[in-house]
Amino acid sequence: MTDGIVAPMFTTDAPVTLIGAGAAADADLAEARAHAPRVVAADGGAGRALAAGLMPEAVFGDFDSLDTATRRAIPEARLHHVAEQETTDFDKALRHIAAPLVLGVGFLGERLDHLLAAQTVLARRAERRCLLIGGADLVFLCPPELSLDLPEGSRVSLYPLAEVRGRSAGLFWPIDGLTFAPGGVIGTSNRVTGGAVRLSMEAPAMLVILPRAALGAAVRALGAPGPAWPAP
């Protein structure tokens, strides 16, 4: 499997909207671009971008879902073919983008296998800060430290992808002293007690799942300076 440090093909100091081939409403794209105006695409997501009137600055993938008309419409210099078949197009794109934050649209669709694969990529590429936008939820990998400004009563779900421990403040059910694991303790449907929610994790293995209305708060939190997970 392709892993380790990869030289980025697209580098920017601004947040990036990454468009996938899955279902995404125009409102999803507009909201993402309000926070991250630069647009790139993962393989067939390029067609979704063009349909919304957006010309991606870069397209990554093995191009097995990039139709001929879409490929001809995009300048050749913007097409970055990644030939290997061991990873998803989302992985191929994310590992080649160097940006302070990536907002992914079109990766949390109807297919469960695609959704689970996307969560795996978030952990595998932990050094990349990436937030995936779905119809009702947001999901991202918790960085080493995170501070979220959310209304009292807001839902905060934590789901471990491997064994992981952490600490919290501002949650109705604190996580201090707990060992989370996929086959053990999980943290769905926690809620905010008031004030800032602060999380710290010992390893890059905890997903944070928030309501869609928390997008602005999540973008601000992930864009704030702070420690990052090292590249593998």
Domains of the chain (ranges; CATH) run 10-135 (3.40.50.10240), 137-224 (3.40.50.10240)
Question: Residue 1: what pLDDT?
Answer: 40
Instruction: Encode pLDDT of 134-150 as tens digits.
Output: 989 999 999 999 999 99
- In this predicted structure, the answer to whether residue 124 has a pLDDT above a threshold of 60 is yes
- Predicted confidence band of residue 79 (pLDDT cuts 50, 70, 90): very high
Q: Which residues contact 161 (CB under 8 A, 6 or more apart)?
A: 119, 120, 123, 182, 205, 206, 207
Choose between 134 and 83: higher pLDDT.
134
**For the residues 85-107, what does the mean pLDDT come to?**
94
Instruction: Encode pLDDT of 17-30 as tens digits.
Output: 999 998 888 889 99
Question: Residue 7: what pLDDT?
Answer: 61
**Which regions of the chain does DSSP assign to beta strands (E)?**
10-11, 16-19, 38-42, 59-61, 79-81, 97-98, 102-105, 130-133, 137-141, 145-149, 155-160, 164-169, 179-180, 187-191, 196-201, 206-211
- In this predicted structure, the answer to whether residue 3 has a pLDDT above a threshold of 60 is no
Question: Residue 111: what pLDDT?
Answer: 82
Question: Residue 23: what pLDDT?
Answer: 83
Task: Indicate the DSSP class of residue 95.
Answer: T
- In this predicted structure, the answer to whether residue 5 has a pLDDT above a threshold of 50 is no
Question: Residue 184: what pLDDT?
Answer: 96
Question: Residue 83: what pLDDT?
Answer: 82
What pTM was estimated for this model as a whole?
0.94
Structural Rg of the chain based on CA atoms:
17
